[in-house]
Structure 1
Amino acid sequence: MTTTDSIPLVCASLGERELAAVAEVFASGWPAGQGPRGKALEAGLKERYGAGDAVAVSNCGAALHLAMLGFEVGPGDEVIVADYTFPAPAHAVRYVGARPVFADVRADTGTVDPAAVAALVTERTVGIIAVDVLGLPADYAELQAIADRHGLFLVEDAACGVGATYRGREAGSLAEVACLSFHGRKGATSGEGGALITADPALGAKARQLSSFGIGSIYDMGQVIGLPVPEFTEIGYNFKLSDIAAAILQVQLTRVEELMERRNAVAARYAELFADEELLTVPHVPADRTHAWQSYLVTLDARVDRGAVATDLRAQGIGCLHGTWASHLQPAFDAQQVCPVSADLFRRNLGIPMHAELSEDQVERVARAVRTAVTAHARPLGRAA
């Protein structure tokens, strides 16, 4: 049960400008998908990411699914996916009847290890899905080199990456196809939503048609004199993003830098407050990239009882969670694989409050509570688990 002084794990930064944009959509008479605001959002995304096309969809999972369809992945194919993440990439591969092959991750960043990817390539491998884990871009130069060497596609799952950079390039533009999320905890949000960003206009056109049951925009058809009757020439999906959500996102995308500045300040302050804490490690950000800080995860010493720490924090009204998933361990995939680094991070990472609405006092309160809890719930050195 929350209290008035609770500190939530996440909090969307939505305000009067977003409300005004929604009111405009209500007045327009077209709240559904692929209307004027959706088209304007797609144009803005295309420009922001220097893309061949951008397709607004209902969520990042839909974008990943459309990417697999666009690359014509199917039964008998294998796609190498980053293991330490929300397992949407593996779901997308399974949606099209292919096999996800899980690649272990770097211990310092949690992003997919290019050496692990290279070791998994077989004659059945058709592509790679890398992930900007929790907002930190992967090693795209090395990954692209592997993809080029073997003739594979590379997809950037940038669900958490809006606002991050890699070697001066913005997350969302780091591979031939990128998939974005606009979920409530992301750097730009409409509550739910997503986008497929692609260098290939033909792939974008195919994704847009498949996202609307295999036909074109009903809004566009309504602007034509006469009575055009669309034909369903292939089986598609209902992955459209509403114009209500698109209007919110048009505002949010103008605020990414503002909100990132605050998230960066929160992350920097956490790093200061935890600098001398031996029972946890703060996130590592390599010098060639920046973090979007969708989440802030500390890695607990193996002696610390994470569940007990979480119980203490939640009792004080401080939001927390386990972090993200070691996908290969999830029963849905029956992976029969071992990714030891990912599994270790899955056991030891703890997510603490991270969003642009945190005050300085709240950040300090969280840090004090975490330090107290990890000390209270750590086994003495040399004592068996």
Structure 2
Amino acid sequence: METPPPVPLVHASLGEKELAAVAEVFSSGWPAGQGPRGKALEAQLAERYEVADAVAASNCGAALHLALLALGVEPGDEVIVADYTFPAPAQAVRYVDAVPVFADVRADTGTVDPRSVADLITPRTVGVIAVDTLGVPADYGQLQTIADRHGLFLVEDAACAVGATYRGRQAGALAEVGCLSFHGRKGATSGEGGALLARDPRIGADARLRSSFGIGSIFDMGKVVGLPIPEFTEIGYNYKLSDIAAAILQVQLGRVDELLARRNAVAAQYTELLADEELLTVPFVPEDRTHAWQSYVVTLDAGVDRSAVAAELRGQGIGCGQGAWATHVQPVFRSRQKCPVSADLFARNLAVPMHAELTPDQVERVVNALRGAVRTHSTATRSTGGAA
């Protein structure tokens, strides 16, 4: 019997329109950052998210770093970060020699628990970084109330949530500063890339300057008659997004609704087919928000051997992953904090293939393989001597 083709965990939806946009950049003579396509992308982002400014960046981690610099975080300050996530928020806090304080998360959504945030505030706390975990927005109503009560900034890490909404508002624009990712598995992608969204234009201006070594746009300087010689007055970084990537993203942003509709259909099929499986729990989406479905992550029963399930899926050519991370247990942070809900999700979550190119037949194949694997590798099943 012929082996079926692999079903990858992620797959970028890039095509002829994106290639044509890249060809236009090649013809323009300016492929580097902060050129005409970058400026056009920033204008498109500011309009889409209804913010005062948008700054294109090389990735979301860079955007988070720029946000903390622009917000004035100083060495020794404490910043509360969502624990169950890719560790970029905590790393950004470390970049500015501040202290990441890890907040536990909700068991149902994996997003930061506002009660945990409130309990962690000390006189040294200056702000909070919430995360739209795996594509579902956090509880920004409660989080903003807490931030306002204590005079803290609130940053939204919307890396996974392009296309999601919270109470009818776009994820990415749910706090004073939002950070987006355009990595290859996101709802809009240029392979790598990111953006900072700011309600205050001063935050945007600061981030844009620091993203280009602290001297601003070389492209703009080249159009000035004479010989302007910039002065380096701030320590800056090379966090620019190339005009090649910006051109791709302009096309991708125009396709967000189309690609999200396809992800929604995949998620709905997974949820329907897995609804009766007692050995796992499907994702939960509160009624006041929508999911971007960057990932489809199931939570396995405590008696299921996740490693064995993953090995079996991969052996059948089906991609899978662990979901997100419990940041506080990562060796680089050496934290003594306890975030038991985050640690439990880190131990039991499993990501299965999710992207806009999945077909219904592929989803059914994944579900059948997953159902068989969890039943084979469950202590409950083994104790009864067979599948349920």
Normalising by structure 2, we get a TM-score of 0.97
Please name the residue that 1:7 is paired with.
Answer: 7
- Determine if contact 2:375/2:381 at 8 Å carries over to the other structure: no
Please tell me the residue identity of whatever aligns with 1:31.
P
Q: State the alpha-carbon separation in 2 of the partners of residues 213 and 274 from structure 1.
A: 50
Q: State the alpha-carbon separation in 1 of the partners of residues 231 and 154 from structure 2.
A: 32
Are 1:379 and 2:388 an aligned pair? no
Please name the residue that 2:50 is paired with.
Answer: 50
Please name the residue that 1:335 is paired with.
Answer: 335
**How do residues 221-260 of structure 1 correspond to structure 2 at under 5 angstroms?**
221-260=221-260
- Determine if contact 2:67/2:207 at 8 Å carries over to the other structure: yes
Please name the residue that 1:99 is paired with.
Answer: 99
Q: State the alpha-carbon separation in 2 of the partners of residues 115 and 183 from structure 1.
A: 31
Deviation at 1:109, TM superposition (A): 0.4
Where 2:61 maps in the other structure, the secondary structure is helix
Please tell me the residue identity of whatever aligns with 1:352.
V
Please tell me the residue identity of whatever aligns with 1:235.
I
Q: State the alpha-carbon separation in 1 of the partners of residues 76 and 48 from structure 2.
A: 36
Are 1:193 and 2:193 an aligned pair? yes
Q: Deviations over 1:309-351 (max 9, x none)?
A: 0000000000001111000000101111000000000000000
Q: State the alpha-carbon separation in 2 of the partners of residues 381 and 240 from structure 1.
A: 53
Q: State the alpha-carbon separation in 2 of the partners of residues 361 and 4 from structure 1.
A: 11
Q: State the alpha-carbon separation in 1 of the partners of residues 25 and 372 from structure 2.
A: 49
Please name the residue that 1:271 is paired with.
Answer: 271
Deviation at 1:19, TM superposition (A): 0.1
Q: State the alpha-carbon separation in 2 of the partners of residues 80 and 268 from structure 1.
A: 34
Deviation at 1:380, TM superposition (A): 2.2
Please tell me the residue identity of whatever aligns with 1:64.
L
Deviation at 1:76, TM superposition (A): 1.7
Deviation at 1:234, TM superposition (A): 1.2
Deviation at 1:216, TM superposition (A): 1.3
Please name the residue that 1:135 is paired with.
Answer: 135
Please name the residue that 1:156 is paired with.
Answer: 156
Where 2:157 maps in the other structure, the secondary structure is strand
Please name the residue that 2:209 is paired with.
Answer: 209
| Structure 2 unmatched ranges of 5 or more | 384-388
Structure 1 vs Structure 2: percent identity of aligned residues? 76
Q: State the alpha-carbon separation in 2 of the partners of residues 115 and 154 from structure 1.
A: 15
Q: State the alpha-carbon separation in 2 of the partners of residues 381 and 121 from structure 1.
A: 45
Are 1:306 and 2:306 an aligned pair? yes
Please name the residue that 1:363 is paired with.
Answer: 363
Q: State the alpha-carbon separation in 2 of the partners of residues 209 and 99 from structure 1.
A: 25
Where 2:220 maps in the other structure, the secondary structure is helix
- Determine if contact 2:376/2:382 at 8 Å carries over to the other structure: no
Which piece of structure 1 moves more, 71-80 or 34-43?
A: 71-80
Where 1:195 maps in the other structure, the secondary structure is strand
Please tell me the residue identity of whatever aligns with 1:66.
L
Q: Deviations over 1:240-296 (max 9, x none)?
A: 000000000000000000000000000000001101100000000000000000000
Q: State the alpha-carbon separation in 1 of the partners of residues 195 and 382 from structure 2.
A: 50
Are 1:76 and 2:79 an aligned pair? no
Deviation at 1:382, TM superposition (A): 10
Are 1:183 and 2:183 an aligned pair? yes
Normalising by structure 1, we get a TM-score of 0.98
Where 2:374 maps in the other structure, the secondary structure is helix
Deviation at 1:4, TM superposition (A): 6.3
Q: State the alpha-carbon separation in 1 of the partners of residues 264 and 371 from structure 2.
A: 21
Please tell me the residue identity of whatever aligns with 1:257.
D
Where 1:134 maps in the other structure, the secondary structure is helix
Please name the residue that 2:125 is paired with.
Answer: 125
- Determine if contact 2:188/2:256 at 8 Å carries over to the other structure: yes
Q: State the alpha-carbon separation in 1 of the partners of residues 101 and 255 from structure 2.
A: 37
Q: State the alpha-carbon separation in 2 of the partners of residues 241 and 296 from structure 1.
A: 28
